[in-house]
Structure 1
Amino acid sequence: MFDCKKPTRAASGKGLNRLYCRSHEDHFQRHGSYTKKSYTAAELSPHRATATAWLQAHSDDIEVRNAVDAIASLMRRSGPAVEAFRLRGLPPEKRAKATWARLRQANVDPLAIIAAAISVVLAIKNDLQPDLHVEFREVQMAKAVHRMASGTHKHWERERTGGGRLSVLLHKFPISRGRVLRHLGGQLHLSTEIIRAELCSI
């Protein structure tokens, strides 16, 4: 398997996992794999360009139109946008909806969302040491799209103690880990299912 000197969760009496330690469980929550890290934006960039070019060339195909409609529907039915400051404590399903709402609020093109999701599939295909588990693929899709949703950014001014005004900037980005990624990734996986096989034959 791999070399890890830490006791498993079961061995330490702090869980039921008999194979992995706390660090690897945390890794799994963030990345969808116990050992493999997430693909970086730089690693996905060439695959996203490939996917974007193909999607634009086939934008009139029924499969592409159906995928665009599915993503647009998720954005449209996501409800009001929720500020990143207010996501804490919400169930994963509502946090996934909030991601779609932020994408809608930012006017992100559904075709760009599909390209981001497909870039993960192409990255896995071209990876010399891929993780082929469905959960890894879905989590990676979710993380790629989650980055596009950005966060909440606030700016205000307040009086300085000694006079004058102080400009204050506050940025809050939603945490990209846990069940929310599984919900978001599952929706992306289902919405792009019809065109994935054809795109991966490039």
Structure 2
Amino acid sequence: MTSASQRQRRIANLRGRIAGPQDAYERCRAFPCKNRTTADRGEGLNRLYCRKHIEFYRRHGSYVKASYGAGELRPYRLRALGWLKAHGHELVVRSAVESVQRLYRSAGAPIAANRLTGLSPGDRANAAWAQLRKANVEPLEVVAAWLAVDLRIRDDLQPDRHEEYRQVQAAKLIHRMAGGMHKRWELERPDGKMALTEFHKHPVSRGRVLRVLGCQLQAACGELCIA
């Protein structure tokens, strides 16, 4: 186990690297952004991008290309689902569906969206799979989500072909499919009348959890491809 003194040395080293001179570009590499990089500002170690584009990358899997919208992906999901149903007898399709089923089974108990804060990316990914299972999302629809992103990227005139972008886009899509927590209850007001109260909470779709989900989905479905 790491001792307290070792942790303190690592923290001191990190602070020194942040505060010290950096071999960094002065401006963010995302054209036409004119912000200074986090390394140049002494706010981080990234020598290529500013804080704004680092946060953009955490949400979308790319420093410059935004995520595909649900409506944009819907026709591709329908096309992929139709193809999967027509080829459901093929070994590669059955293998992908079974892999998603294993992810469902190994995910553990669902965790409410308001209890995810502080959990590791792996635990949050398991919570997403458990929520998909709880929401009765068919594994075939999850496989279709991966294929839909692949089809959309192939049709994109200005695509981002990095694996990370593909993984994050698929993860964001199944995150939406899993839904969130929705509760309604009645409370008595001071005047004696009942008032309906609602609480809606969705998991935050950003950061390492998207990479974990995307990698797991790619491992399950990566051999599938619609010609």
TM-score range, shorter chain: over 0.9
Out of 98, 101, 104, which is 1:72 matched to? 101
Partner of 2:46: helix, strand, or coil?
Answer: coil
1:52 aligns with 2:86: no
Q: Which has the higher contact order (CA 8 A, sep 6+)?
A: 1
1:139 aligns with 2:168: yes
Residues 34-90 of structure 1, C-alpha deviations (whole Å, 9 max, x = no match) = 000000011111111111111000011110000000001101110001000110111
What's the TM-score, normalizing by structure 1? 0.96
1:102 aligns with 2:117: no
Out of 178, 186, 190, which is 1:161 matched to? 190
Match of 1:7 in 2: 36
Q: Matches of 1:41 and 1:24 in 2, distance apart?
A: 23
| Aligned pairs (5 A) from 1:82-121 | 82-121=111-150
Residues 91-121 of structure 1, C-alpha deviations (whole Å, 9 max, x = no match) = 1100000000000001100000111111001
What's the TM-score, normalizing by structure 2? 0.86
Partner of 1:10: helix, strand, or coil?
Answer: helix
Which residue identity lines up with residue 74 of structure 2 in the other structure? Answer: S
Q: Matches of 1:42 and 1:167 in 2, distance apart?
A: 31
* Identity fraction in percent: 51
Q: Matches of 1:156 and 1:169 in 2, distance apart?
A: 7
How far has the Cα of 1:186 moved from its partner? 0.3
Out of 190, 193, 200, which is 2:219 matched to? 190
Out of 188, 200, 203, which is 1:171 matched to? 200
Q: Matches of 2:165 and 2:186 in 1, distance apart?
A: 43
How far has the Cα of 1:167 moved from its partner? 1.0
Superposed CA RMSD: 0.8
Partner of 2:184: helix, strand, or coil?
Answer: strand
Could you list the runs of 4 or more consecutive aligned residues of structure 1 that deviate by over 4 angstroms after TM superposition?
none
How far has the Cα of 1:152 moved from its partner? 0.5
- Structure 1 stretches lacking a partner, 5+ long: none
- Structure 2 stretches lacking a partner, 5+ long: 1-29
How far has the Cα of 1:4 moved from its partner? 0.8
Match of 2:51 in 1: 22
Q: Matches of 1:174 and 1:53 in 2, distance apart?
A: 29
How far has the Cα of 1:166 moved from its partner? 1.1
User: Bigger radius of gyration, 1 or 2?
Assistant: 2
Q: Matches of 2:111 and 2:77 in 1, distance apart?
A: 28
Q: Matches of 1:62 and 1:76 in 2, distance apart?
A: 21
Q: Matches of 2:33 and 2:41 in 1, distance apart?
A: 14
